[in-house]
Amino acid sequence: MAFRTRRQERYVALRKKGFLKFEANDLSKVPFSTPYMKALISERNQKHNAASKRKISQTQWEQSIKLMYFDMKWRTKTKSGNIKYDVWQMLREFEEQYKQKHPQYQSPWQKKRKGWKDFVSKVEKTLQKQEGQQ
């Protein structure tokens, strides 16, 4: 049995649930405990199971997922002008859907940023007080 990092374990789990390589690579950075990740994974797993019951080939599956990215406008242009499928736009949309269902939910990413802003402002205030006392 080979040693694997947590991120590698998440990557393997995402691939088994029907995510494409580029999706699993990016989404493996996000912990599975994130509530909207659970919704995203379960939805993709349902689609993948339905596709496998219809005996759709891997190439057809990849094309259908890429078409979904195109239809939902989850794509961006790279610096070279090529179109890239943007996994993060898909994740943000699932986060917004989760926030609509659960209005009390506060994103941990926003909380950390807010805490850092508060820290910086507190440090600046204390430095101003110390300069005023001297």
Q: Which tens digits make up the pLDDT trace of 107-120?
A: 766 555 556 667 77
Claim to verify: residue 128 and residue 79 sit in the same structural domain: no
Q: Which of 1-5, 12-16, 72-76 has the lowest mean pLDDT?
A: 1-5
What pLDDT, on the 0 to 100 scale, is given for residue 73?
92
**Residues forming beta bridges with residue 83, ordered by sequence position:** 77
The answer on pLDDT for 54 being more than 90 is: yes
Claim to verify: residue 98 and residue 116 sit in the same structural domain: no
Q: Which of 8-12, 56-60, 100-104, 122-126 has the lowest mean pLDDT?
A: 122-126
Of the candidates 89, 108, 85, which has an alpha carbon nearest to the alpha carbon of residue 97?
89
- Residue 124, domain extent: 108-134
Claim to verify: residue 114 and residue 68 sit in the same structural domain: no
Size (the chain), residues = 134
Claim to verify: residue 46 and residue 84 sit in the same structural domain: yes
Claim to verify: residue 70 and residue 132 sit in the same structural domain: no
Claim to verify: residue 98 and residue 115 sit in the same structural domain: no
Give residue 124's pLDDT band: very low, low, confident or very high (50, 70, 90): confident
Claim to verify: residue 83 and residue 18 sit in the same structural domain: yes
pTM for the structure as a whole: 0.73
Residue 35 and residue 91: Cα distance in Å, rounded?
A: 11
Cβ-proximal residues to 10 (8 Å cutoff; 6+ apart), any chain: 27, 28, 31, 32
What pLDDT, on the 0 to 100 scale, is given for residue 91?
92
Indicate the number of domains in the chain: 2
Q: For residue 11, is it within any domain?
A: yes
Claim to verify: residue 117 and residue 90 sit in the same structural domain: no
Claim to verify: residue 60 and residue 112 sit in the same structural domain: no
Cβ-proximal residues to 17 (8 Å cutoff; 6+ apart), any chain: 41, 44, 45, 48
Residue 67 and residue 123: Cα distance in Å, rounded?
A: 49
Q: For residue 1, is it within any domain?
A: no
How much of the chain exceeds pLDDT 70, in percent? Answer: 90
Residue 2 and residue 12: Cα distance in Å, rounded?
A: 13
Say whether 111 sits in a helix, a strand or coil.
helix
